[in-house]
Chains A and B, each alone.
Chain A
Amino acid sequence: MSDNLQLNPEGKLKHFLTIEGLNKSLLQEILDTAESFIGINDQQIKKVPLLRGKTIVNLFFENSTRTRTTFELAAKRLSADVLSMSISTSSTSKGESLLDTIRNLEAMFVDMFVVRHAISGAAHFIAQHTAPHISVINAGDGQHAHPTQAMLDMFTIRQIKKDFSRLRVAIIGDILHSRVARSEIQALNMLGVAEVRVIAPKTLLPAHVESLGVTVSHNLTEGLADIDVIIMLRLQKERMSSALLPSESEYFKCFGLTEDTLKNAKPDAIVMHPGPINRGVEIDSKVADGPQSVILKQVSNGIAIRMAIMAMAMQKQGSL
């Protein structure tokens, strides 16, 4: 089952939908390209003309502040024209209208869609049905993938830890509903980490989770042993009403990251979170704001990584 939909015949990035089906050198190329963009953030004029004259449409069928903002900033720093649209899913009930939305925007000579959608597979669907010259970047689809978030986390990890091969990474929380977790697991394994460990109660783990290439722990204290990188996931409030968890407080007691539980990981372990964080639910404020936290660094890196992915996906058009 290949995802070569993402690559053009020369193996260059055309769409960026999921980590699956890509390869290590491509991921490294993304990280290296992002590295070259990092300096731009510190310049007085934070712009490069790479995508001048290109039109990028941010299509957000699901609410997001951070992701949308960083995509918008990334596009603007590449000198593209950006249009951000928030489309409530209630107005687009079925695939037909999703397709119609896309067709209408295509007719306005768009070069790239950045898509967030509440349904798994939405970005694939759009990539399959959009005009051939248009690139699609997945900014999160249902519970499937959020590959740009995964890449910005890889970037952050590489900045601090340098070498992936010895790293043990723990992902803690609601793996079942997390597109971030799925993309992180694929990216970490592709970059060759020593271990990816998921830590969660069974109700928050998908069936056959080991098939994703992870080891499993249901106990935070034990699970954090020898861990270099901790990725916390956001816990949605509706998990309590759907009988997946008894209460926020019990969850925090078992799986909340505090200064105390953090001591079970390696002393130089870093703490990450894709945001937005629920203080006192999955993470204690002292850890979130503490010296081992790199949460805000992740946010700044989001701009560079999204610039890199947008620029690379446009490169396939031979126009750069």
Chain B
Amino acid sequence: MTQQIHIRQGRIIDPANDIDRIGCVYIADGKIISMTEEPVGFKPDIVIDAGNQIVCPGFIDLSARLREPGQSRKATFESETVAAASGGITTLCLQPDTIPVIDTTAVAELIKELAEKAQYPQIYPIAALTQKLEGNELSSMLSLKQAGCIAVGNAGQPVKNLLVLRRAMEYAASHDLLLMFQSNDYWLGNKGCAHEGAVATRYGLPSIPEAAETVALAQCLELAELTGCRVHFGQLSCKRSVIKIHQAKKYGLNVSADVAIHQLHLTENDMAPFDSAYHVLPPLRTEADKQYLRQGLAGGTLNSLCSDHQPHDIDAKLGAFPETEPGISALETLLPLMLKLVAQHVITLEMGIAALSSNPAQILRLKSGALTPGFSADVCVFDPELIWQVNSENWRSRGVNTPFWGQMLKGRVTHTLQAGKMIYCLKK
């Protein structure tokens, strides 16, 4: 018998059920049992007073790296799941570029074990689309699906041979597997590390044109139509990608897309000279790209937001910019940066929460991302007004590689529940 939890008098925002009102959530046996009246005989073990706070479905992060197996010097399941919970995240998808790659059931099982040991949140591995992510031979997708992988993906590794991509997509479609694709043309990317624009030109940085993303995206869209494969395009970075997804949806293709939250706040111009904290892939692009991505989110072309969490050890970011490793540690800034979009009138709060819960749940076909009675009690309670500093006192991830380090951010998770268990509570 698990605990009974009563979340009292919070502003409940549950986009999937079109709810936005002050009220209570009743939880028992790991599930939401009522959103309206107190069930008969309900004796809460825990009462969470959510006055002046927002109660919403726990967040579902479509792209994260926890660095295990293979790179535990950077981060571990233990460190990163705590970080995720403190960021209100109750479900996350693990990219397959672990060491070794998630291309055998043994690795998928290992991840399941690690996840169970860490206890929370729910972790779904994404299986590698091809063996070793090399783009040559298909992975055992069906076995990997049966071992718990929620989708197949390329983890940003280019699939150079389009015939292999076609066949992988056909095979995935045969088993009703979602392809989570990060568009990146190997040759056009030309081993760059920054957006091909004025800043890279000034600093002499090897650069990546938008076309590296849009060409690969256009090819994959064509193949989505040919093969009937469901495709989710992850971590888009530029205007023309948004336009292409918009057109594809209008045309009737079964595709969805997300954007990493930092792409909605940062551009190439924010980068201090050679500051490796800003080294991400795809790279930070222009103001126009940022605005278009924001519009894409507001207009629904981009279905969801993800953290694209990539924690690093200090040495990985200590070097001349092109030699440093790309990525931002981002689980804990996901909520405040979403709220910043609300404060800047880019999206409504309800849209922001949907982009972090019900929309990704729909993409993954999960029975979660909503506060529907009977659903697993994955709940996030946050204080939208609480201001906190990104510093070592507040930070849980082992990766401190964030360009937001030291900044004051508004909005902080106070409680996170996963399957009815309190997995995070902010100490006052």
Residue positions of A touching B, CB distance < 8 A:
1, 3, 5, 20, 94-96, 98-99, 117, 119-122, 124-125, 129, 141-145, 179, 182, 206-209, 211-212
Known: A3-B273, A207-B200. A95 touches B205 (CB 8 A): no
Q: Taking the complex as formed, is B395 at the interface, i.e. its CB lies under 8 A from any CB of chain A?
A: no
Which residues of B in the span 212-228 have a Cβ within 8 Å of any Cβ on A?
A: none
Known: A3-B273, A96-B315. A122 touches B320 (CB 8 A): yes
- Closest CB in chain B relative to A171 CB, distance in Å: 14
Instruction: Add 18 more A-B contacts to A117-B320, A143-B204 (CB < 8 A).
Output: A20-B202, A98-B319, A99-B319, A119-B322, A120-B320, A121-B203, A121-B320, A124-B320, A125-B274, A129-B318, A142-B320, A142-B322, A143-B205, A144-B205, A145-B204, A179-B204, A207-B198, A207-B207
CB pair B320–A125 under 8 Å, yes or no, is yes
- Closest CB in chain B relative to A40 CB, distance in Å: 33
CA A124 to CA B204, docked complex, whole Å: 13
- Closest CB in chain A relative to B74 CB, distance in Å: 14
B202: chain A residues within 8 A (beta carbon):
20, 182, 211-212
CB pair A121–B321 under 8 Å, yes or no, is yes
CB pair B323–A119 under 8 Å, yes or no, is yes
B209: chain A residues within 8 A (beta carbon):
207
CA A98 to CA B324, docked complex, whole Å: 12
CB pair B315–A120 under 8 Å, yes or no, is no
Q: Taking the complex as formed, is B389 at the interface, i.e. its CB lies under 8 A from any CB of chain A?
A: no
CB pair A120–B204 under 8 Å, yes or no, is yes
The B interface is mostly helix, strand or loop, or mixed, namely: loop
CB pair B324–A207 under 8 Å, yes or no, is no
B206: chain A residues within 8 A (beta carbon):
120, 143
CA A179 to CA B269, docked complex, whole Å: 20
- Closest CB in chain B relative to A239 CB, distance in Å: 14
B: interface residue count bin: 20 to 34
Among B202, B204, B315, find the residue whose CB has the most chain A CB atoms closer than 10 A: B204
B274: chain A residues within 8 A (beta carbon):
120-121, 124-125
Nearest 5 A/B pairs, CB to CB: A95-B319, A143-B204, A144-B204, A121-B274, A211-B198
Known: A94-B323, A95-B318, A207-B209. A142 touches B204 (CB 8 A): yes
CA A184 to CA B269, docked complex, whole Å: 22
The 12 sampled A-B contact pairs (Cβ below 8 Å) are: A1-B269, A94-B319, A95-B315, A98-B319, A99-B318, A119-B321, A120-B206, A122-B320, A124-B274, A142-B322, A207-B198, A212-B202
Known: A94-B315, A120-B204. A141 touches B320 (CB 8 A): yes
B373: chain A residues within 8 A (beta carbon):
none
CA A144 to CA B269, docked complex, whole Å: 17
CB pair B203–A209 under 8 Å, yes or no, is no
Which residues of B in the span 296-328 have a Cβ within 8 Å of any Cβ on A?
A: 315, 318-324
- Please, which residue of chain A has its CB at the minimum distance from the CB of B314? A96
B324: chain A residues within 8 A (beta carbon):
95
CA A122 to CA B269, docked complex, whole Å: 20
- Please, which residue of chain A has its CB at the minimum distance from the CB of B198? A211
CA A206 to CA B190, docked complex, whole Å: 14
CB pair B319–A96 under 8 Å, yes or no, is yes
B247: chain A residues within 8 A (beta carbon):
none
CA A179 to CA B205, docked complex, whole Å: 10
Q: Taking the complex as formed, is B391 at the interface, i.e. its CB lies under 8 A from any CB of chain A?
A: no
Which residues of B in the span 190-212 have a Cβ within 8 Å of any Cβ on A?
A: 196-198, 200-207, 209
